[in-house]
Amino acid sequence: MTEGVSAIIYPVKDLATAKVLFGELLGVQPHTDESYYVGYKVGALDVGLDPHGHGKGMTGPVGYWQVEDINASVKALVEAGGTVGQEPKDVGGGKLIGTVTDTDGNTIGLIQQP
């Protein structure tokens, strides 16, 4: 069902401070640097900073698993006992993301590339 984790998104309260820290940690400049999201590419992994993450209910980083069909994956995970956290939505350029919460309250991120 998955092709591995392709993104990790961190909820941050202070985007400017987080940018400095993650820039130092990752050793690269962001590929996306907007007021609503800062994203870095480290090898094949996207590392994102979401200043609205806490408001969306994120309590910590969320790993996003790469899937071929996000709607089918959400359906399968719900049938296996999960609940929809965030319905799949387009976040730009046809990239779809969504989340499912497992029975222990863990968030499972899903991402489908265009």
Query: What string of DSSP letters covers 54-85?
Result: GGGT--S-EEEEEES-HHHHHHHHHHTT-EEE
Residue whose tokens read 């969320």: 62
Whether the Cβ atoms of residue 10 and residue 37 lie closer than 8 Å to each other: no
Query: What are the structure tokens assigned to 31, written together?
Result: 């590929």
Query: What string of DSSP letters covers 14-61?
Result: -HHHHHHHHHHHH-S--SEEETTEEEEEETTEEEEEETTTGGGT--S-
Report d(CA 79, CA 67) in Å as an integer.
17
pLDDT for 69-109, tens place per residue?
Answer: 999 999 999 999 999 999 999 998 999 999 999 998 899 99
Q: How is the chain split into domains, by residue range?
A: 2-112
Residue-level pLDDT at 3 = 81
Domain 2-112, CATH 3.90.380.10 — does that match?
no
Whether the Cβ atoms of residue 9 and residue 64 lie closer than 8 Å to each other: yes
pLDDT bracket for residue 37 (50, 70, 90): very high
Whether the Cβ atoms of residue 49 and residue 15 lie closer than 8 Å to each other: yes
